[in-house]
Amino acid sequence: MTHPNFPHLFSPFDLAGVQLKNRLVMAPMSTGLAGENGTVQPSHVAFYRERALGGFALIVVEFTCVEAATGRSEKHQLALESRANLDGHKRLVDAIKGAGAKVFVQLQHGGRFADKRFVALPKGPSAVYSRKDATKLVSGEYTSDDINRLVDRFGTTARLAAEAGYDGIEVHGAHGYLVAQFISPLCNRRDDEWGGDAERRMAFPIAVSKAVRAEIGQRPLVFRLSVDEFLPGGITIDDTEVNAKMLVAAGTSAFHASTGQGPASFERVMEPMSAPEGWRIPYAGRLRRAVQVPVIAVGQIRDPAMAEDALASGEADLIAMGRPTLADAQWANKVRDGRIDDIRPCTSCNWCISGATESVSCAENPRTGNELEAPVDADIGEGKHAIVIGAGPGGMASALMLAELGFKTDLYEARDSLGGGLIASAAPPGKDKFYWYLDYLLRRLERSKVKVHLNAPLDAVALAAINPDLVFVAAGTRQRPMDLEGIDGANVLDSYEVLMGQQDHGLTAGQSVIVYGGGETGCETAEYFAKLGISVTLVSRSSEADLARAAEFVYRKMLIERLAKNDQITIVPNTHIVRIDEQGAELMSQETQLIRHVAVDRIVVAQGRDPDYALVEDVLAAGVPCYTIGDSRKTGRIGNAVHDAYKAIRSIAAERVVPRELAC
Ligand SMILES: Cc1cc2nc3c(=O)[nH]c(=O)nc-3n(C[C@H](O)[C@H](O)[C@H](O)COP(=O)(O)O)c2cc1C
Ligand code: SF4
């Protein structure tokens, strides 16, 4: 039956002989869950099965190394080099198929970007020497014999994958790994049968395509390409239109149109939230028109209507989703069932690639990567009263989970609106996708049994009068006190309060500010004012190279580039303010010790914030069980707060665990 709203998205598709129930593909994502020697773990089975149950027609299992000794790209990477790992892959395949999806596996080799912790001297098509020391070899060059061996490795791994029951193979020819290194003129400087001109640079991917095809019979072979590297001298979509035809002739059945090269243009591989939704779709469209085989579009596709349009307009045959499946495993089912408002929206905050956790995770969805954990008993809170203080992301997530577990839940917020730090996070230019998450939490709260109290600060005395069974303190931070002449002046603002919309800066275009603080918040506040046409002097005690140093790395790269290009912003590094007066501030250079006065309309302080432990101490002193969440415990990101909430709930549940003797 045709879907009433998404007729293309939920129509079946024949992918080179594999019948897909809809057009939604889970993109390959390394989970960091693999065991010693790249084995499949029970956590893999649970993680992928949950996404298969979530309605995706095709799951592409994460990058799996074809020769770990030379190509391993991270500590916990999957491998399928020998029969030793076959049983695990078989179990994974069976679980995914049993949950109603088809399954491919992505074959990869890191080449020159193999992880140096495991590969002493990684190699690629051409040797690379240090930029600082031209005699120092950074990565070596493969010989022709090595290359022939690696081609074989792709073939033998594909054969084992077919034996494990995978429905098809995806070759990782994107993102700057080995196959992409051969294709790109930036990495392949050989002059032999494996490089020298565009055609010879395709010799390795073509050989890989043929080797895989020879081993997998009629199964589909998808080639994932970075269709454009977005680097001067790198692969462009014009090149890809030509290259892709050669791969089709060598047995490739379909393409997965990614972009970017890691690390040089990583912001095109996993773009931060400032990237426009669906910006890559036209690239998939160009590739599709150039080749007569199916093309999968991927990257920053979040809106189901946009996915539907991409299919309807012939830009793509299939739509792959990466991060949205981490944020919400049920994405596909929810769209199919008309529950789009229930989708936990991926904001592209990139917490999941920031190394915040050891294995796969999502800031908004602490279950991701923890699928093996048994659900908490739904009656755990029956007859009990929980109070949550603070309605930022950690507080809202806590209240929702507590209410779901049967606690009578009251959420107290001192301000006049819900959202806390999420509002401040969403305010700077390019970060408005955080509102998606805020709106989602508000919708969930509205439908929950949580009782919300606004303009309701709660102190120890009030708490004692209520006498709850437990308290979650998620009250956030307070501004770090500063010993600085003039800091209490009427012209001094707190960047956090400005971004929260709680302090009216009263400025209009043409006026000026000093933003004091070169951390992420300071840099973002500078952009915020610059966008209003206000001229900004960004004063940082650190060097320019250290601006926003704690920010997520992809976002940071783009933020720094934008700051440098912004005419409205003057960066003054290695400098501190020694005095504030009504006309502006005195700045002292740490290098020269020279002091100069800069006249501005406002000074906006962004010198960091600290947890406020006072309330926690009061609650503990009153003898009420207390859980400290997010910034109230340690200043961090939205993911830290939400994950704290989840851990607190799990620790409540842990008190009810009944020990059970093992049979062995
Ligand atoms: C945690 C994580 C791991 C990833 N690992 C892989 C991988 O193993 N192979 C690959 O080709 N792409 C990998 N990617 C890229 C995704 O497949 C996808 O192309 C990218 O996230 C953009 O799509 P999205 O906006 O839907 O997330 C990874 C992305 C994430 C977030
Ligand atoms: S951590 Fe952020 S970017 Fe990653 S999946 Fe979750 S919401 Fe998306």
Identify whether the C-beta of residue 162 lies closer than 8 Å to the C-beta of residue 217: yes
Span from the CA of 422 to the centroid of ligand 2 (angstroms): 14
Span from the CA of 381 to the centroid of ligand 2 (angstroms): 29
Q: Do 196 and 334 have their domain in common?
A: yes
The whole-number pLDDT of residue 376 equals 87
HSE on the CB side for 530, CA within 13 Å? 22
Residue 327 CB–ligand 2 contact under 6 Å: yes
Q: pLDDT, tens digit, for every residue of 578-635?
A: 999 999 999 999 999 999 999 999 999 999 898 888 888 888 888 889 999 998 888 8
Span from the CA of 374 to the centroid of ligand 1 (angstroms): 27
Closest alpha carbon to 350 in 556, 521, 631, 554: 554
Residue 202, both tokens: 């395709």
User: Does the pLDDT of residue 472 top 90, yes or no?
Assistant: yes
Please check whether residue 509 lies inside any domain of the structure.
yes
User: Does the pLDDT of residue 35 top 90, yes or no?
Assistant: yes
Q: pLDDT, tens digit, for every residue of 413-427?
A: 999 999 999 999 999
Closest atom of ligand 2 relative to the 351 alpha carbon: 1
Please check whether residue 549 lies inside any domain of the structure.
yes
Report the C-alpha gap between 301 and 604 in whole angstroms. Answer: 36
Q: Which residues pair with 108 in a beta bridge?
A: 65
Residue 60 CB–ligand 1 contact under 6 Å: no
Residue 186 CB–ligand 2 contact under 6 Å: no
Span from the CA of 352 to the centroid of ligand 2 (angstroms): 6
Residue 264 CB–ligand 2 contact under 6 Å: no
Q: Choose one of 568, 588, 607: the last residue of a domain.
A: 607
Q: Do 307 and 447 have their domain in common?
A: no
Nearest CA, atom 6, ligand 2: 362
pLDDT class of 395 with cuts at 50, 70, 90: very high
Average pLDDT, the chain: 96
Q: Could you give the percent of the chain with pLDDT greater than 70?
A: 100
Residue 214, both tokens: 């020879």
The one-letter code for the residue type at 481 is P
Q: Choose one of 306, 333, 353: the last residue of a domain.
A: 353
Report the C-alpha gap between 649 and 418 in whole angstroms. Answer: 21
Please tell me the total count of domains within the chain: 3
C-alpha distance from residue 568 to each of 25, 184, 534, 562, 574 (Å): 43, 37, 7, 11, 20
C-alpha distance from residue 114 to each of 337, 368, 441 (Å): 42, 26, 40
pLDDT class of 484 with cuts at 50, 70, 90: very high
pLDDT class of 544 with cuts at 50, 70, 90: very high
Q: Do 525 and 450 have their domain in common?
A: no
The whole-number pLDDT of residue 477 equals 87
Q: Do 300 and 436 have their domain in common?
A: no
**Residue from 80, 270, 328, 357 whose mutation best tests the ligand 1 pocket (most atoms within 8 A of CB):** 270
Q: Which of 48, 142, 177, 283 is catalytic?
A: 177
Between 86-98 and 144-164, two packed helices, what is the crossing angle to 10 degrees? Answer: 50
Closest atom of ligand 2 relative to the 344 alpha carbon: 7
The whole-number pLDDT of residue 377 equals 83
Please check whether residue 257 lies inside any domain of the structure.
yes
CA torsion angle 535 539 544 548 (round to 10):
-90
Span from the CA of 231 to the centroid of ligand 2 (angstroms): 26
pLDDT class of 184 with cuts at 50, 70, 90: very high
Which ligand has the nearest atom to the CA of 353? Answer: 1
How much is the average pLDDT of 119-139? Answer: 95
**Residue from 352, 357, 438 whose mutation best tests the ligand 2 pocket (most atoms within 8 A of CB):** 352
Strands 102-108 and 168-173, by their bridges, are parallel
Report the C-alpha gap between 515 and 538 in whole angstroms. Answer: 5
The CB density around residue 651, as the number of other CB atoms within 10 Å, is 10
Which ligand has the nearest atom to the CA of 56? Answer: 1
**Residue from 323, 433, 553 whose mutation best tests the ligand 1 pocket (most atoms within 8 A of CB):** 323
User: Does the pLDDT of residue 298 top 90, yes or no?
Assistant: yes
Residue 299 CB–ligand 1 contact under 6 Å: yes
Identify whether the C-beta of residue 602 lies closer than 8 Å to the C-beta of residue 592: no
Domain harbouring 552, CATH code:
3.50.50.60
Identify whether the C-beta of residue 572 lies closer than 8 Å to the C-beta of residue 538: yes
Cβ neighbours of residue 202 closer than 8 Å, sequence gap 6 or more: 182, 183, 243, 246, 247
The 10 Å CB-count burial string (b at 16+, else e) for 472-493 is: bbbbbbeeeeeebebbeeebbb
Largest CA distance in the chain: 82
Identify whether the C-beta of residue 15 lies closer than 8 Å to the C-beta of residue 254: yes
Please check whether residue 369 lies inside any domain of the structure.
no
Domain harbouring 95, CATH code:
3.20.20.70
Q: Choose one of 331, 353, 375: the last residue of a domain.
A: 353
Q: Do 501 and 455 have their domain in common?
A: no
Q: pLDDT, tens digit, for every residue of 151-174?
A: 999 999 999 999 999 999 999 999
Report the C-alpha gap between 84 and 629 in whole angstroms. Answer: 43
Please check whether residue 368 lies inside any domain of the structure.
no
Please check whether residue 118 lies inside any domain of the structure.
yes
Residue 447, both tokens: 């439908």
Active site residue 412: no
The radius of gyration of the chain from alpha carbons, rounded to an integer in Å, stands at: 27
Report the C-alpha gap between 78 and 33 in whole angstroms. Answer: 8
The 10 Å CB-count burial string (b at 16+, else e) for 592-608 is: eeeeeebebbbbbbbbb
Q: Do 437 and 558 have their domain in common?
A: no
Q: Do 181 and 255 have their domain in common?
A: yes
Q: Which residues pair with 599 in a beta bridge?
A: 584
The whole-number pLDDT of residue 583 equals 97
Residue 298 CB–ligand 1 contact under 6 Å: yes
Residue 9 CB–ligand 2 contact under 6 Å: no
Please check whether residue 109 lies inside any domain of the structure.
yes
The whole-number pLDDT of residue 81 equals 95
Q: Is 487 helix (H, G, I), strand (E, B) or coil?
A: coil
Helices assigned H by DSSP within 532-637: 553-565, 614-621
Give residue for tokens 């022939």. Answer: 148
Q: Do 460 and 436 have their domain in common?
A: yes
Q: Is 516 helix (H, G, I), strand (E, B) or coil?
A: strand
How much is the average pLDDT of 288-294? Answer: 97
Please check whether residue 377 lies inside any domain of the structure.
no
Span from the CA of 27 to the centroid of ligand 1 (angstroms): 6
Q: Could you give the percent of the chain with pLDDT greater than 90?
A: 91
**Residue from 267, 364, 640 whose mutation best tests the ligand 2 pocket (most atoms within 8 A of CB):** 364
Domain boundaries, position 241: 13-353
Residue 357 CB–ligand 2 contact under 6 Å: no
The CB density around residue 19, as the number of other CB atoms within 10 Å, is 11
Residue 364 CB–ligand 2 contact under 6 Å: yes
Identify whether the C-beta of residue 206 lies closer than 8 Å to the C-beta of residue 221: no
Residue 111 CB–ligand 1 contact under 6 Å: no
User: Does the pLDDT of residue 129 top 90, yes or no?
Assistant: yes
How much is the average pLDDT of 62-85? Answer: 97
pLDDT class of 65 with cuts at 50, 70, 90: very high
Adjacency order of strands within the sheet including 128-129 = 123-124, 137-141, 128-129
Which ligand has the nearest atom to the CA of 24? Answer: 1
The total number of residues shown for the chain amounts to 664
Domain harbouring 630, CATH code:
3.40.50.720
Q: Do 40 and 55 have their domain in common?
A: yes
User: Does the pLDDT of residue 479 top 90, yes or no?
Assistant: no
Q: Do 100 and 18 have their domain in common?
A: yes
Nearest CA, atom 5, ligand 2: 323
Residue 270 CB–ligand 1 contact under 6 Å: yes
The whole-number pLDDT of residue 304 equals 98
Which ligand has the nearest atom to the CA of 366? Answer: 2
511 burial via Cβ count (<10 Å: 0-12, 13-18, 19+) = middle
pLDDT class of 460 with cuts at 50, 70, 90: confident
Which ligand has the nearest atom to the CA of 300? Answer: 1
Q: Do 454 and 541 have their domain in common?
A: no
Report the C-alpha gap between 427 and 413 in whole angstroms. Answer: 20
The whole-number pLDDT of residue 375 equals 84
Strands 318-321 and 295-298, by their bridges, are parallel
Cβ neighbours of residue 519 closer than 8 Å, sequence gap 6 or more: 548, 549, 550, 606, 608
Which ligand has the nearest atom to the CA of 362? Answer: 2
Nearest CA, atom 3, ligand 1: 29
pLDDT class of 229 with cuts at 50, 70, 90: very high
Report the C-alpha gap between 462 and 458 in whole angstroms. Answer: 6
pLDDT class of 531 with cuts at 50, 70, 90: very high
Residue 560 CB–ligand 2 contact under 6 Å: no
Identify whether the C-beta of residue 516 lies closer than 8 Å to the C-beta of residue 606: yes
Nearest CA, atom 8, ligand 2: 346
Q: Do 457 and 588 have their domain in common?
A: no
pLDDT class of 266 with cuts at 50, 70, 90: very high
Residue 322 CB–ligand 1 contact under 6 Å: yes
Residue 349 CB–ligand 2 contact under 6 Å: yes
Cβ neighbours of residue 467 closer than 8 Å, sequence gap 6 or more: 624
Closest atom of ligand 2 relative to the 323 alpha carbon: 5
